[in-house]
Structure 1
Amino acid sequence: MKIIDAHHHFWDLDANYLPWLKDKPVKFRYGDYQALKRNYLPKDYRADVAPFELGGSVFIETEWDPMDPLGEVAWVAGVRAASGLPSVMVAQAWLDREDAEEVLAAHGATDFVRGIRHKPAAAPSPDKFDPGAPGSMADPAWRRGYAMLASNGLTFDLQTPWWHLVEARDLAEAFPDTRIHLNHTGLPADRSPEGLAGWRKAMKLFAAAPNVAVKISGIGVPGHRWSVEDNRAVVLDTIDIFGPDRCMFASNFPVDSLVGSFQTIFSGFLEITSEFSEADRRKMFHDNAANYYRMTADEPV
């Protein structure tokens, strides 16, 4: 089956500044990420994806130097011209900064940029949730920037833990002309019965908004190698909640190489969805990403 990888990264640590990979380690959901502190470029990605027929890819911003969000776009333009990858890009922007209008206008004028990602402030656990905290999706300063996305033709990639999806649902309703792509399946890290029940409830609330979709990715369990057994229920519940028309599969490479190979992860997705119709699988593995990220037949691959 031809796939579009709806979420991946490249980086060149010899040439560029990514604070989380160059400076003091940060708290990371998979634990030790020392193995990611190496260059990961199209030739490395093509080797990882080789067992599959790649129909396109979506580069997601890499937490590049926050003082230079346009620098990453310029770098990706060069990578894209030299290698044919990525097909399109989701760029960095800081919605609550004074330069948001200028940065978003530049992104909107770049032919291969389709949207932006700015991870909103998030509480570390459901019991610490503070509605309206500075930098959150309910912060008026953050929303002023978000309000500029639609006029610049940009979608929004949202990475936030599931207990913030109540804010995301309100955001989707307040800005119906901006589509939200939820990253990494809403981050169902707590696989206890209680944790999964909270995640399912939040995902159902969010999915009720018509202008949202989800990327099934980033569901590795810390301390475990990626397995169908660990992830089958999360994948099937997500498809049940959003429907095959609003789900996309993605690798989150090279980040998820910490928990499994590209082949292990995508073969697992294919196994878990083996009982779906060919048409529904084609949507989830290819067509939905092509539609939501506005890919055309002449995008590079």
Structure 2
Amino acid sequence: MEHPQRVVDAHVHHWDPARTDWYPFLAAADTSLAAVGMPDADRMRRPFDQPTYLAEAGHWNVEAYVHVTAAPEHFVGETAEIARLAKATGQPQAIIGGVDGRDGAAGIVAQLDAQAGAPGFRGVRASAGLDLDTDTGHTLLGALQDRGLVYDLVVHPDGMRAAAAALAAFPDLTVVVEHAGWPLAEDLEHAAAWRDGLARLAALGPRVHLKLSGLAMTLHRIDAASFRPWVAHSLEVFGTARCFFASNFPVDGMFGSYDDLYGTYAQLVDELAAPARDGLFAANAARVYRC
């Protein structure tokens, strides 16, 4: 197995479980994560700051990383805080903030504008429940397209068909499908829905990318045999130029170490040519997120 020469980690969260106003799902009594296949989330309920991340990723030559919001309501404050961290330390090199569709179309634009001045701000993910095929959804997608920002799409297989239809109306919008399309189960019916949804999203063209992360949330393990069918199909559908690996730490860290995860990634693509491997580990994410 060949170690990648460099890594651009496209999905990292910094948080402190004590800040339950910002991260309510980290409260010990919260059960919301069970709905997305994580009934026991105790192992991710730990402070995860930049020194912790860099120490755990220390064997992998992380030359840049993308911080992705995990604050469902306080994303504006979080974006500002992460921007201050980046100014002080030079990292992270890119920030994906958030929006909350409950504030309506005007609120979405105000949320974007409140984060747009942060150095490294590259786009947003939306809180759960935002219907893209509404005035609010269309306003968000149009505003991102007009501003040259990235939309990190949080979607499960049962929502991919609708998401692809809504995104088709915004042909210049750069989209990153998070967590390999976030399958929630391993059964054949669910996997078939996932494959169909991936095909619909991939058919939107080269502006749509697939972030290979989060599989541990569904599989509850990190090993090459378990990951292989999901990663192999993803690469078949999207191609190596439109996919990239990410850690989703500390969430995926519930099921193994950073070394375990990136060792699995390296094993899965060991036979690819060097340029394709570099794309998956670094170059593709660096291009999409400009970092």
Change (3 A) 1:36 1:221: closer
Aligned-partner Cα distance in 2 for 1:206–1:150: 17
Aligned match of 2:121? 113
CA deviation vs aligned residue, 1:20-79 (integer Å, no higher than 9, x gap): 224741332222112222211011101110111111000000125x1x432111211222
Aligned match of 2:208? 212
Aligned match of 1:264? 260
Change (3 A) 1:103 1:160: same
Aligned pair count? 280
Pick one of 222, 226, 237 that aligns with 1:226. 222
TM-superposed CA distance for 1:237, in Å, is 0.5
2:14 is paired with a residue whose SS is coil
Pick one of 62, 71, 77 that aligns with 1:63. 71
Q: Where is the helix percentage greater, Structure 1 or Structure 2?
A: 2
Change (3 A) 1:223 1:113: closer
Pick one of 168, 174, 181 that aligns with 1:173. 168
Deviates more, 1:21-30 or 1:227-236: 21-30
Mapped pair 1:25 → 2:20? no
CA deviation vs aligned residue, 1:184-212 (integer Å, no higher than 9, x gap): 00112321222222211111111000121
CA deviation vs aligned residue, 1:97-151 (integer Å, no higher than 9, x gap): 1422222123233221000010342xxxxxxxxxxxxx32223333223321122
Deviates more, 1:135-144 or 1:71-80: 135-144
CA RMSD of aligned residues (A): 1.8
TM-score (norm 2): 0.90
Mapped pair 1:99 → 2:95? no
Segments of 5+ residues of structure 2 without an aligned counterpart are none
Aligned-partner Cα distance in 2 for 1:142–1:19: 25
Change (3 A) 1:153 1:224: closer
Aligned match of 1:124? none
Aligned-partner Cα distance in 1 for 2:275–2:149: 28
TM-superposed CA distance for 1:288, in Å, is 0.5
1:220 is paired with a residue whose SS is helix
Q: For residue 46 of structure 1, what is the amino acid of its counterpart? A: L
CA contact (8 A) 2:99 2:127 kept: no
Mapped pair 1:90 → 2:96? yes
Mapped pair 1:189 → 2:184? yes
Aligned match of 1:281? 277
Aligned match of 2:235? 239
Change (3 A) 1:26 1:178: farther
Q: For residue 184 of structure 1, what is the amino acid of its counterpart? A: H
CA deviation vs aligned residue, 1:227-278 (integer Å, no higher than 9, x gap): 1111111001100100011001000000011111111111101101111111
Aligned match of 2:14? 10
Aligned-partner Cα distance in 2 for 1:137–1:165: 11
Aligned-partner Cα distance in 2 for 1:61–1:258: 19
Aligned-partner Cα distance in 1 for 2:184–2:128: 18
Segments of 5+ residues of structure 1 without an aligned counterpart are 122-134, 296-301
TM-score (norm 1): 0.87
CA contact (8 A) 1:189 1:219 kept: no
CA deviation vs aligned residue, 1:139-164 (integer Å, no higher than 9, x gap): 33332233211223311001110121
CA contact (8 A) 2:183 2:218 kept: no
2:80 is paired with a residue whose SS is helix
Determine what percentage of the aligned residue pairs are the same residue.
26
CA contact (8 A) 2:98 2:127 kept: no
